Chains A and B, each alone.
Chain A
């Protein structure tokens, strides 16, 4: 942890180190494009690797006949992964600089691990896609960009790696960068930051590279430290799913209730009118409470408890929203799905749908199409979705849910399907607007 640089300001109690923002980013890539080397480099050069980990790494690398240190072994944490030399799951890694705390969701890049990439991207503020400068855009590069676009990761970085192997050639970099940007543009991704790097030599990872004077932008780490973290949340539409009811004895004969949950959209303030869903009963926010006392406003991702002016009967699975701004009640879902389970999604199969704090029974109606995430072609004849497939599906629900399009709100627009028989987390669901087409 590179927090050892002391702050100029006088330390306040308990805040010797400045409070910093947190950035979650995901990486996708396979053995060949140097993803593990890049992460190893970020951790190593920002001093996020500890000496005993380094010693263990050297020992393990020697045992596997690798000359020097195989930084991939740092992220492959499970016995099976080390034995097979592959990453099979999402690994979370942590490092911090004086400016930010970082959480890396490190995911494997092969097609059969699409579900892991989707998992990693689901909570990411930023995605790093690795491109081998010698190869340019490959099928898997496109796949990684498609996943970042599907999951609406707010920022995308294309790290054009192995620049040392193309003579640090600006023209090679420019050509790949424009190809990446053009493809991302087609998917509706606004900005893509392209950075020429050599992970193995540390060029433009933490330190700027003297080999690429033509590159005027920041090294990767500096970009990660400075990329604008405007709230990734929807601050316009109030969404407060009730998670838990806190009942405290107010007097001998009655208890006082507050409704606990995490703000998933909008800004709540005392005095604001709200409507409870699904009942539609209108009331007013009397106070927003926390353990540390009442607060003047609550916004995502804060966990708070709301006290209401009227005695309305609310419970888990219900939602407070602003009047005239309720999400549509949906009993039938038209949505994008990424399938996670070995048992395919097929018409007639039954699931639990978990959406915010609301869990309802669901039955699969149809697969509208399966999406080839390499070519973006739609196959309307697929009929079912197997593991790692992405497609458009329709589901019928036993009770309505109150969801927004995923495009608007990543929390109220997402759901998971749980297999009724096995309890497996079987599918990721992204809600669409009426008539919305993606991509």
Chain B
């Protein structure tokens, strides 16, 4: 190294963007694990939480994760995502806790929303907060990204929640350098977002680079769908075509894995990771805009749900 010019030495020590993002994510995981008593990692079987699990492996292996994995099961999940969840958790040998929205309904904690094929998206906030209390979680790792939505764009990496699980966007703690303030009072919690700075494209590039498995619904496949609210919804147990709706069989894939009742499929021919990356790189519509009915309500839909304790 003594022979190298100073410029050559420093060039060699600039890392590419995926390495920088990965290292930041590992650092965040270790910080949160160190300062919180009882964290949990939210895993849905979706691509963002798949990346979270890999970052957790990178942060803590060869030891076990210092937290359990938590899944909020709305009862409206894609079966492919549930099967993947169980397989992945078994492979990791980590503890999985499932909090069920159906149980919250059965216990009278929440009521199914009225209307045709109701979404359970809002209900899951109650199930989540009940699970937090039941298990005494003081921090939850989530796969939220700031590029997803404009309220998220302002959210901190360590995002404080009061004793009611609520986010106060106007009263957030400043976050400087990479010094995260994890101090909370009893009953309060923190949401921790290790991939805040990743974009949808970063996530796919990382999945490809790490050769991570993802549920099959992320790749193009033939499926019966029905057009509703401008989106292709999968016909099945949670989406029943109305008389005026026409069922079509199309080649589609999912850009995001949410509830079957409110997650739209996109027309796609992408059958491999590289094809997905090419498609995402060329996409002209945001991930949420293309696929989530829940954000279409109002300009501040996400902000309002987050205030209530939503992820």
A residues with a Cβ closer than 8 A to B are 1, 3-4, 6, 11, 13-17, 19-22, 47, 50-53, 56, 60, 74-80, 82, 88-94, 96, 100-101, 103, 115-116, 118-119, 122-123, 229-231, 233, 235, 243-244, 246-248, 260-262, 267, 290-292, 299-303, 316, 340, 352, 354-355, 357, 410-411, 414-416, 418, 423-425, 428
Q: For residue B7, which residues in chain A have a CB less than 8 angstroms away from its CB?
A: 230
Q: For residue B18, which residues in chain A have a CB less than 8 angstroms away from its CB?
A: 19
| Distance of B299 from chain A, by nearest CB (Å) | 6
Contact A230 B177 (CB under 8 A): no
Separation of A247 and B151 alpha carbons in the complex (Å): 39
Interface 9-mer from B59-67, B100-108, B117-125:
B59-67
Separation of A100 and B17 alpha carbons in the complex (Å): 8
Give the number of A-B contacts (CB < 8 Å): 214
Contact A22 B23 (CB under 8 A): no
| Distance of B36 from chain A, by nearest CB (Å) | 12
- Given contacts A103-B197, A423-B181, whether A246 and B16 have CB atoms under 8 Å apart is no
* Chain B interface bracket (under 10, 10 to 19, 20 to 34, 35 or more): 35 or more
Q: Does B111 contact A (CB under 8 A)?
A: no
Within 8 A of A (CB), among B166-181: 169-170, 172-179, 181
Q: Give the nearest-CB partner of B170 in chain A.
A: A80
Q: For residue B284, which residues in chain A have a CB less than 8 angstroms away from its CB?
A: 47, 50-51
Separation of A15 and B199 alpha carbons in the complex (Å): 16
Q: For residue B90, which residues in chain A have a CB less than 8 angstroms away from its CB?
A: none
Contact A303 B277 (CB under 8 A): no
Q: For residue A88, which residues in chain B have a CB less than 8 angstroms away from its CB?
A: 170
Contact A243 B31 (CB under 8 A): yes
Proximity string of chain B (266-297) to chain A, C-beta cutoff 8 Å, 1 when within and 0 when not: 00000001100110111111100110000000
Q: For residue B282, which residues in chain A have a CB less than 8 angstroms away from its CB?
A: 4
Q: Give the nearest-CB partner of A411 in chain B.
A: B177
Q: Give the nearest-CB partner of A262 in chain B.
A: B27
| Distance of B282 from chain A, by nearest CB (Å) | 4
Q: Does B308 contact A (CB under 8 A)?
A: no
Q: Give the nearest-CB partner of B300 in chain A.
A: A79
- Given contacts A92-B153, A230-B11, whether A303 and B20 have CB atoms under 8 Å apart is no
Q: Does B87 contact A (CB under 8 A)?
A: no
Separation of A101 and B201 alpha carbons in the complex (Å): 11
Contact A96 B201 (CB under 8 A): yes
Q: Give the nearest-CB partner of A269 in chain B.
A: B1
Contact A101 B202 (CB under 8 A): yes
Contact of B151 among A77, A103, A235, A424 (CB under 8 A): A77
Contact B299 A56 (CB under 8 A): yes
Contact B57 A17 (CB under 8 A): no
Q: Does B242 contact A (CB under 8 A)?
A: no
Separation of A14 and B31 alpha carbons in the complex (Å): 29
Contact B173 A424 (CB under 8 A): yes
Separation of A262 and B177 alpha carbons in the complex (Å): 13
| Distance of A281 from chain B, by nearest CB (Å) | 22
Q: Give the nearest-CB partner of B61 in chain A.
A: A291
Contact A230 B170 (CB under 8 A): no
- Given contacts A50-B283, A78-B154, whether A92 and B146 have CB atoms under 8 Å apart is yes
Q: For residue B259, which residues in chain A have a CB less than 8 angstroms away from its CB?
A: none
16 sample A-B contacts, Cβ–Cβ < 8 Å, listed by A number: A15-B205, A50-B284, A51-B285, A53-B286, A60-B299, A75-B153, A78-B150, A80-B169, A80-B170, A123-B178, A230-B11, A244-B33, A246-B61, A248-B62, A303-B22, A303-B59
| Distance of A319 from chain B, by nearest CB (Å) | 15
Q: For residue B208, which residues in chain A have a CB less than 8 angstroms away from its CB?
A: 13-16
Extra 7 A-B pairs, beta carbons < 8 Å, given A93-B153, A244-B60, A290-B58: A22-B20, A52-B285, A77-B153, A229-B14, A244-B34, A262-B26, A425-B181
Contact B277 A17 (CB under 8 A): yes
Within 8 A of A (CB), among B233-269: none
Separation of A290 and B19 alpha carbons in the complex (Å): 12
Separation of A56 and B174 alpha carbons in the complex (Å): 29
Proximity string of chain B (145-174) to chain A, C-beta cutoff 8 Å, 1 when within and 0 when not: 011011111100000000000000110111
Contact B34 A52 (CB under 8 A): no
Separation of A421 and B7 alpha carbons in the complex (Å): 48
